[in-house]
Structure 1
Amino acid sequence: MKQLQKIFLQGLVTFLPVALTIYIVYAGIAIVDSFLGDTLREILPIYIPGLGFLLTVLLIFLLGLLLNNLITVGIFQKLEQKITQIPLIKAVYSPLRDLMNLFSKGGGPSGLQKVVLVDMGETGVRAMGLVTRESFSDVPGIETHAHATDSVSVYIPMSYGLGGFTLLVPRNRITPVDIPIEKAMSLAITGWVKADKAGGNHHG
């Protein structure tokens, strides 16, 4: 009976990541496809599944090309300034824009993004995080703080979730870690659990 349970668990450990990956990719494609797909279904006599997804990807690519043009960039920036003057839209749009910039440009406005270990004090406990900024000149009240000029903001991701928290940490309490950001995020989100080749798990 124990042998059957072991075989089943080995199969389950192999099956679940594959099944969930396929489901997430399929769900993502379906969501993107629905952006233009619902409209195309009403316009076109025959709708080919996936057409909305392809057109959405093409639209994003064309937008990227336009943003590489100095004239269209200027127009977009002026439009963005007008949009962000609306309180409700600013509250939603600005954080999402900053988040996308963080991961698309390798850091915040100044190109910062590095993995560090944060010394949590006399306990000897350290937490792995991501430096998101080193300047607070654009944050009223923070830049005048006694330790603000000698601190950085560090995002600490939570394991097995999509959340996290941000700390203002003195520079002398962080230690840079020379690992890729993607690897650090993967370790943090999975709680540093690593599956070995035999199908078991160990902490690494």
Structure 2
Amino acid sequence: MKQLQKIFLQGLVTFLPIALTIYIIYAGISIVDSLLGDSLRHVLPMYIPGLGFLLTILLIFLLGFILNNLIAAGVFHKLEYRLLKVPYIKAIYGPLRDLMNLFSKDGGHGMRTVVLVDMGESGIRALGLVTREHFKDVPAIDANAGDRVAVYIPMSYGLGGFTLMVPRSKITPLDMPIEKAMSLAITGWVKADKNDED
């Protein structure tokens, strides 16, 4: 009986990550496909599954290409500035834009450095990601920040976390990719593969 349990658990541990990965990819493609696909179904006499996905990807590339033009980028930033003055749009669009910028490496805005945060005399340290080093756009914080940086501490087994204002003297930068740090934090530092040396 124990042997059967061991075989089943081994199969389950192998099957679940593969099945969930395939499901998440499929769900993501289906969601993106439906963005334009639903409209195309009403216009085209015959809809080919996946056409909405391909057109959405092309639209994203086209938008990126247009925004690389200085004039178009300037127009977009003026439009964005006006959008952020509208209360309900500001409440939705602003945080979404900031979240996307958080993971962006462009322009030095996002998470740049993986650090260990000294949590006090106990000797406990937490893995964190520096999200901000300056607070000039938030005067109330800037006036009281001193020599502090904002450090995001991700929580295990979820996408949540919290941000701390930490003195620079209490952080130790690590030579580690942000993706690896997030992977470690989200999985509670569980090492999935004995041969994993990353």
Q: Please, what TM-score do these two structures have when normalized by structure 2?
A: 0.94
Segments of 4+ in structure 1 off by > 3 A?
A: 106-109
Cα deviation, residue 48, structure 1: 0.4
Cα deviation, residue 17, structure 1: 0.3
* Equivalent residue number for residue 142 of structure 2: 143
* Equivalent residue number for residue 159 of structure 1: 156
- CA gap of 1:28–1:112, structure 2 versus 1, over 3 A, is closer
* Equivalent residue number for residue 131 of structure 1: 130
Cα deviation, residue 175, structure 1: 0.5
Query: Sequence identity, in percent?
Result: 76
User: CA contact under 8 A between 2:150 and 2:164: conserved in structure 1?
Assistant: yes
Paired letter, 2:13 = V
- 5 Å-filtered alignment, 1:31-180, equals 31-105=31-105, 109=109, 113-145=112-144, 148-180=145-177
Structure with the larger helix share: 2
Cα deviation, residue 66, structure 1: 0.3
Give the whole-Å Cα distance in 2 for the aligned partners of 1:92 and 1:140: 23
- CA gap of 1:73–1:106, structure 2 versus 1, over 3 A, is closer
- 5 Å-filtered alignment, 1:173-188, equals 173-188=170-185
Give the whole-Å Cα distance in 2 for the aligned partners of 1:90 and 1:156: 26
* Equivalent residue number for residue 16 of structure 2: 16
User: CA contact under 8 A between 1:107 and 1:132: conserved in structure 2?
Assistant: no
Q: Please, what TM-score do these two structures have when normalized by structure 1?
A: 0.92
SS for the counterpart of 1:193 is: coil
User: CA contact under 8 A between 1:107 and 1:113: conserved in structure 2?
Assistant: no
Give the whole-Å Cα distance in 1 for the aligned partners of 2:28 and 2:59: 17
Q: Deviations over 1:116-162 (max 9, x none)?
A: 000110111110010001111111311111xx131000001111101
SS for the counterpart of 1:116 is: strand
SS for the counterpart of 1:3 is: helix
Cα deviation, residue 96, structure 1: 1.4
In structure 1, the gaps of 5 or more residues are 199-204
Paired letter, 1:29 = I
- CA gap of 1:197–1:128, structure 2 versus 1, over 3 A, is closer
Bigger shift: 84-93 or 122-131?
84-93
In structure 2, the gaps of 5 or more residues are none
C-alpha RMSD of matched pairs (Å) = 1.7
Give the whole-Å Cα distance in 1 for the aligned partners of 2:135 and 2:192: 40
Paired letter, 1:129 = G
Give the whole-Å Cα distance in 2 for the aligned partners of 1:39 and 1:197: 48
* Equivalent residue number for residue 202 of structure 1: none
